[in-house]
C-alpha cells in the first residue's frame, strides 16, 4: 500500500514540477490557488448572474486549457520542452508570473465584496474605476493571462503553451461577456463611459 501511495505522490508531483526552477512556478500557482480559494468566502451577496449554460462559452476553453496546462498531461504524453531557457531565463519568467499574480491580488483586494468568480451583479454594485481598474477594466484577467503565458513559455512544452493560450482565450471571452452583462445591469452610460476611457485587458492600448 505504501508503494502505491508513493507512486500516486510521484505522479501528482510530476512532469515539469519535478525539476528546479520550473518547480518554482508550480509553487507560485499552488500558493495563489490556495489563497484565492480561501478569499472566495469574502464577497458580497449576489443580486443577479449569468446563467450556467451561457457561462460554458468561457468555462470550456478554460477547463480544457487547465487540463493541458497541468504537468500531468505532459508527463502522460512523455513530452519534452521545445526549448530550455536555463535557470536565469526561468527565474525571470517566474518574476513575470509573480508580478501577474500580484496584480490579480491588488485588483481582488481593491474590488472587495464586489468580486465574484462568476459573472454577477452584487448588491449595491457600481463601476469601480480606481486602483488597478484605472489601468485596465479587467485587471484580474490581465494578471492571470500574464502569469499563464509566462509559465507556458518557461515550461516550453506544447501542451503547456497551448493550455495557457486556451485559458487566456477563455478569460478574454469571459471579459467580453462580463462587459455586456455589466453594461446592461449598471447602465450603458455609466459602464460605456468607463469602457471608452480605460482599455479592456492590455494596458496602454486605445480603449475599446
Angstrom CA distances, 64 to 59, 155, 156, 169, stand at 9, 18, 18, 11
Does residue 122 surpass a pLDDT of 70?
no
* Residue 93: strand pairing partners: none
Does residue 108 surpass a pLDDT of 60?
yes
Residue 9 lies in a domain: no
Asked, as a colleague might, if the bond just before 21 is cis with ω within 30 of 0, I would say: yes
pLDDT band at 182 (very low <50, low <70, confident <90, very high): confident
Residue 206 lies in a domain: no
* Residue 121: strand pairing partners: 48
For residues 14 and 156, give the distance between their C-alpha atoms in angstroms, rounded to a whole number.
Answer: 15
User: Does residue 145 contact residue 100 with C-beta atoms inside 8 Å?
Assistant: yes
* Residue 46: strand pairing partners: 122
Residue among 123, 149, 112 at smallest CA distance from 49 = 123
Residue 202 lies in a domain: no
Residue 41 lies in a domain: yes
Q: Which of 42-46, 132-136, 155-159, 173-177 has the lowest mean pLDDT?
A: 42-46
182's grid cell: 455589466
Residue 28 lies in a domain: yes
According to the model, what pLDDT value does residue 156 have?
95
Domain count, the chain: 1
Domain with 148 in it: 19-197
Instruction: Give, for 48, the enclosing helix (H) or strand (E).
Output: strand 46-49
Does residue 5 surpass a pLDDT of 70?
no
Q: What is the mean pLDDT of the chain?
A: 86
Residue 8 lies in a domain: no
For residues 138 and 200, give the distance between their C-alpha atoms in angstroms, rounded to a whole number.
Answer: 6
Average pLDDT, stretch 43-56?
Answer: 62
Does residue 89 surpass a pLDDT of 90?
yes
Average pLDDT, stretch 89-93?
Answer: 96
pTM of the model: 0.88
Average pLDDT, stretch 164-183?
Answer: 93
Residue among 39, 10, 3, 11 at smallest CA distance from 140 = 39
Pick the most confident of 5-9, 72-76, 164-168: 164-168
Residue 101 lies in a domain: yes
Residue 116 lies in a domain: yes
Percent of the chain scoring above 70 in pLDDT: 85
User: Does residue 43 contact residue 123 with C-beta atoms inside 8 Å?
Assistant: no
What CATH number does the domain containing 55 carry? 1.20.120.1630
According to the model, what pLDDT value does residue 99 have?
97
User: Does residue 186 contact residue 125 with C-beta atoms inside 8 Å?
Assistant: yes
According to the model, what pLDDT value does residue 1 have?
45
Amino acid at each position: 500500500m505504501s508503494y502505491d501511495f508513493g507512486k500516486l505522490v510521484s505522479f501528482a508531483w510530476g512532469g515539469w514540477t519535478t525539476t528546479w526552477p520550473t518547480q518554482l512556478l508550480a509553487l507560485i500557482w499552488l500558493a495563489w490557488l490556495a489563497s484565492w480559494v480561501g478569499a472566495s468566502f469574502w464577497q458580497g451577496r449576489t443580486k443577479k448572474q449569468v446563467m450556467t449554460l451561457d457561462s460554458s462559452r468561457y468555462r470550456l476553453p478554460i477547463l480544457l486549457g487547465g487540463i493541458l496546462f497541468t504537468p500531468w498531461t505532459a508527463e502522460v504524453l512523455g513530452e519534452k520542452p521545445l526549448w530550455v531557457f536555463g535557470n536565469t531565463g526561468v527565474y525571470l519568467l517566474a518574476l513575470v508570473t509573480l508580478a501577474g499574480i500580484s496584480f490579480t491580488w491588488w485588483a481582488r483586494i481593491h474590488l472587495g465584496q464586489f468580486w465574484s468568480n462568476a459573472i454577477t451583479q452584487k448588491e449595491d454594485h457600481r463601476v469601480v474605476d480606481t486602483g488597478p481598474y484605472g489601468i485596465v477594466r479587467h485587471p484580474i484577467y490581465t494578471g492571470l493571462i500574464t502569469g499563464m503565458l509566462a509559465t507556458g513559455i518557461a515550461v516550453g512544452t506544447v501542451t503547456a503553451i497551448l493550455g495557457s493560450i486556451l485559458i487566456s482565450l477563455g478569460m478574454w471571452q469571459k471579459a467580453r461577456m462580463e462587459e455586456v452583462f455589466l453594461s446592461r445591469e449598471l447602465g450603458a452610460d455609466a459602464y460605456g463611459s468607463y469602457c471608452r476611457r480605460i482599455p479592456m485587458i492590455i494596458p496602454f492600448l486605445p480603449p475599446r
